[in-house]
């Protein structure tokens, strides 16, 4: 089935949202090896601007590697990657912000000063950066924790500060690499709901890497399903689910369950 789709469309197109025409990310025949080991086997994909896309696939299939390449932090060995107009690594790096699995907050900086990092790196003074970041803390459920150090925050709060820090970089493309992978199941569920609302007012292209199909269905409009290594795209699933009051209703919706089965079947 995967072969057929490729034959028809050439590039796999993720359906555009809100009629946005310009593509934020274009992957053409991207290949990569670790030594002799083929990890990415000819990835073709177009991601329209302002869409929410999830890369799902088994752990270790190479989807995080692909994310590093899109961000311009790693050079692919074959094919082309274009972000916006930029095909070279440094240009991609300028347009992408990456939120890693570990929060990677700096333990010697307060939550507020961690959120200020991108602005300070661009030469904004610390006090000006603080004035810009401060108002966002309340919005992200972090009010009154501005002066707390990361060691004083819970895992979920640290990830929220990490998200805020990534957001302050103000990039066109947001890459989230298993952002909740290090959290326990309960705070993970809470963080997924939080991220869903947080993303709704972020007009950016968001790519989420996860091995959790449920998380991908809850958080994104499109699922790109990868096979195990060497990674190929085996399915692209357009998620059109009615809005639900809460997570429990959403995940027990028969359509949701059907899509989940489809994705899991494609991975296997």
Partner 1 sequence: MIGTPATKEDPGRAAAPPAARRRARAWGFGRKYGGAVALVLVIVVLWQAAVHLFSIPDYLLPAPTEIVSALGDWSVLGVATWVTLQEVIYGFAIALVAGVGIAVVLHASALLRRAIYPLLIGSQSVPIIVIGPILVVVLGYNILPKLIIVALICFFPIVVNTLDGLGSVSEDYILMMRTLDASRLAIFRRVEFPACLPMMFTGIRIAVTYAAIGAVVGEWAGSTNGLGYVMLEAEPNLQIARIFAVIVILTGISVVLFSLVSIIQRMVIPWAKTANSRRDST
Distance CA 203, CA 78 (A): 31
Residue 180's nearest CA partner among 197, 155, 201, 199 is: 155
- Joined tokens for residue 163: 């998200």
Burial-class residue 201 by CB neighbours within 10 Å (0-12, 13-18, 19+).
Answer: exposed
Q: How far is the CB of 171 from partner 1 (least distance, A)?
A: 8
Residues at the interface with partner 1 (CB under 8 A): 68, 71, 73, 93-94, 96-98, 100, 102, 104, 106-108, 117-118, 120-122, 148-149, 151-152, 154, 165-166, 169, 171
Nearer to partner 1 by C-beta: 151 or 246? 151
Strand partners, 46: 13, 26
Q: How far is the CB of 89 from partner 1 (least distance, A)?
A: 10
Nearer to partner 1 by C-beta: 16 or 100? 100
Q: How far is the CB of 263 from partner 1 (least distance, A)?
A: 28
Distance CA 25, CA 17 (A): 14
What are the E-state strand segments in the chain? 23-34, 37-48, 52-56, 78-83, 96-99, 173-177, 205-210, 222-226, 233-238
Distance CA 14, CA 4 (A): 16
Nearer to partner 1 by C-beta: 71 or 195? 71
Q: How far is the CB of 51 from partner 1 (least distance, A)?
A: 20
Q: How far is the CB of 117 from partner 1 (least distance, A)?
A: 5
Nearer to partner 1 by C-beta: 71 or 219? 71
């Amino acid at each position: 089935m995967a072969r057929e789709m490729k034959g028809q469309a050439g590039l796999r197109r993720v359906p555009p949202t809100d009629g946005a025409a310009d593509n934020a990310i274009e992957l053409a025949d991207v290949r990569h090896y670790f030594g002799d080991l083929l990890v990415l086997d000819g990835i073709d994909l177009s991601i329209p601007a302002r869409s929410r896309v999830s890369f799902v696939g088994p752990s270790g299939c190479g989807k995080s590697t692909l994310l590093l390449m899109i961000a311009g932090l790693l050079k692919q060995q074959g094919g082309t990657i274009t972000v916006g107009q930029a095909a070279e690594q440094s240009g991609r790096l300028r347009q992408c912000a990456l939120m890693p699995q570990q929060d990677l907050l700096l333990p010697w900086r307060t939550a507020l000063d961690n959120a200020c990092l991108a602005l300070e790196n661009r030469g904004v003074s610390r006090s000006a950066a603080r004035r810009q970041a401060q108002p966002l803390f309340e919005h992200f459920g972090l009010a009154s924790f501005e002066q707390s150090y990361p060691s004083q925050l819970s895992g979920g709060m640290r990830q929220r500060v990490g998200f805020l820090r990534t957001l302050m970089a103000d990039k066109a493309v947001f890459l989230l690499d298993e952002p909740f992978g290090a959290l326990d199941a309960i705070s993970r569920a809470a963080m997924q709901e939080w991220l869903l609302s947080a993303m709704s007012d972020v007009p950016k292209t968001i790519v989420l890497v996860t091995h959790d199909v449920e998380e991908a269905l809850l958080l994104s409009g499109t699922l790109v399903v990868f096979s195990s290594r060497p990674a190929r795209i085996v399915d692209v699933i357009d998620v059109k689910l009615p809005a639900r009051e809460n997570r429990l209703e959403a995940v027990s919706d028969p359509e949701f369950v059907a899509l989940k089965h489809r994705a899991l079947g494609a991975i296997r």
